[in-house]
Amino acid sequence: MSFRSVDEAPIRGFHRKLIVACSGGPLLDGYLLAIVGIALPGITREMHLPTSTEAMIGVASLIGMFFGGLICGPLTDRIGRKPMYTLDLLVLIVTSVLSIFATEAWHLIILRFVIGAAIAADYPIATALLSEWLPTKRRARMFSAVIIIWYIGASLAYLVGYLINEVMGDDGWRWMLATAAVLATIVFLLRVGTPESPRWLVGAGRIDEACKVIESTLDTKVTPAELAGSMPLSNEGRGNIADLFRGIYLRRMVFIVVFFTCAIVPLFALLTFGPQLLGSLGMESGNEANLGTALINLVFAIGCLPAMRMLDNIGRRKTIIWSFGLMVLPLLALGAWTNAPGPFVVGFFCLYALFSGGPSILEWAYPNELFPTRIRAAAVGMAVALTRFGAAIGTFLVPLSLSTLGTSTTMYIGAGITFIGFLACIAWAEETRNRSLEETGAIEVMATSPQPAPISTAGSNPRQGADIT
């Protein structure tokens, strides 16, 4: 088979538009997760909510992401990337607008749950479409850029929330939640007319259509004979999701879920309850805390920039171990110095954000690198689902921990969670630098040696170790 016309194509306007449109999903994810954190104080005062209900509104989207990740990945493989590529955005537009009319807490909980499911659906949709159209040499760097866009979305939410608070005060929470509809509409319009993935079309037996899509999009002539050889591989490549829990892939899935969860529990807690956390540490509540949280989120994005170079220069394993080790220190400092002046509080959180760049990128790189093609998408979907479930539990407990255990203990708990991620990386992180996806997905990579190490997959499917790209 041959997809060289796609894999070796020069970057065109189509690719740039596709990158922007696909990045719209992470942009909305960061925005929607953060905007509720700014709106919660106004919601709580208007509806007189207890802490537990406030927490449920904060984590409802994460619970929705659990179910969205499990369901929508396989559905996208079944019906194609293109139909789902815009459908999830329509759901986001409608639910964001409906937030204006919410009068009870359960209204918001349901809406946030549906929003979370739609966000989780977008990750397997957009990342699959992007990876299947981008030239091979640009894929890794473009995926890193997508992660940066996520943090920009979160920062934008806090800036928008700041402006609405300045004009409307706490009564503006409905309009804060509804602003996501504007972003979702822009992304929807960018995505309209995007062609289907040629790889998916070939896998569905629509080879002639795949040829036409490649020719019209990339101005490259491809014959059905060039793509026909991919049919057996595409059919065989639809692996069983149970393969994720056998042999070496079980260990890899456990590693990804553990480090991913340990990285995003403090992150999501900060995004969802950032102003409250900063307020509990002595910063003036309201817009000062909102601006402080916006600054922290910008530093999260900045932290990804040096990490992009480190991953290629010193490797994945060293980068993620050092990152987790350094991330523990600012949280310990915040636990020990709870009465620190506001600038120091923001500074410690900014250090945490700066050090987190490596794990942030590897949250998406590792699931794609450590599993073969036949179960790669399933691995990404499973990682999203399981880690969001853990993040939902952690985020739900944050306001309860602040009110019952206090700020210092809450910071120490965050440091402990991060330290667990550090230990998991020492034990299980693999080095995949300078290796093809076929190599990294097919065998167990030694931590330091440039040569692959043999593995034992006793009791597992004997065909597990062979990638069938």
pLDDT digits (tens, 9 = 90+) for 324-344: 999 999 999 988 887 777 677
* pTM as predicted: 0.73
Q: How far is CA 194 from the centre of its chain?
A: 22
Amino acid present at 224: P
Statement: residue 385 has pLDDT above 80 = yes
Statement: residue 455 has pLDDT above 70 = no
Mean of all residue pLDDT scores within the chain: 79
Domains 1-194 and 240-458 share a fold: yes
More confident residue, 82 or 24: 24
Least confident of 60-74, 131-145, 152-166, 239-253: 131-145
Quick one: fold of 1-194? Growth Hormone; Chain: A; (1.20.1250)
Residue-level pLDDT at 290: 64
CA 373 – CA 367 distance, rounded (Å): 11
Statement: residue 278 has pLDDT above 90 = no
Confidence of residue 272 (pLDDT cuts 50, 70, 90): low
Statement: residue 419 has pLDDT above 90 = yes
Statement: residue 466 has pLDDT above 70 = no
**Share of the chain residues as helix, strand and coil, in percent rounded to the nearest 5:** 80, 0, 20
More confident residue, 453 or 275: 275
Task: Give residue for tokens 């034990």.
Answer: 427
Span 136-153, mean pLDDT?
76
Span 336-363, mean pLDDT?
83
Max mean pLDDT among 100-109, 212-221, 358-367 falls in 100-109
Please check whether residue 24 is in contact with residue 263, taking contact to mean a CB–CB distance below 8 angstroms. no
Collapsed DSSP state (helix, strand, coil) of residue 444: strand
More confident residue, 136 or 134: 134
More confident residue, 286 or 128: 128
Residue 300 in tokens: 């999260």
Residue 16 in tokens: 């740039």
Residue-level pLDDT at 140: 61
Collapsed DSSP state (helix, strand, coil) of residue 11: coil
CATH 1.20.1250.20 fits 240-458, yes or no: yes
Rg, Å, the chain Cα set? 22
Beta-carbon contacts of residue 227 (< 8 Å; ≥ 6 apart): 1, 2, 3, 198, 202, 207, 210, 211
Residue-level pLDDT at 288: 63
Instruction: DSSP letter for 134, please.
Output: S
Residue-level pLDDT at 443: 52
More confident residue, 466 or 305: 305
More confident residue, 401 or 190: 190
End-to-end CA distance of the chain: 10
Residue-level pLDDT at 321: 96
Domain boundaries, the chain: 1-194, 240-458
Statement: residue 449 has pLDDT above 80 = no
Amino acid present at 92: L
Span 153-173, mean pLDDT?
86
Residue-level pLDDT at 324: 96
CA 62 – CA 388 distance, rounded (Å): 5
Residue-level pLDDT at 453: 38
More confident residue, 289 or 134: 134
Statement: residue 68 has pLDDT above 60 = yes
Statement: residue 100 has pLDDT above 80 = yes
Residue 34 in tokens: 């953060």
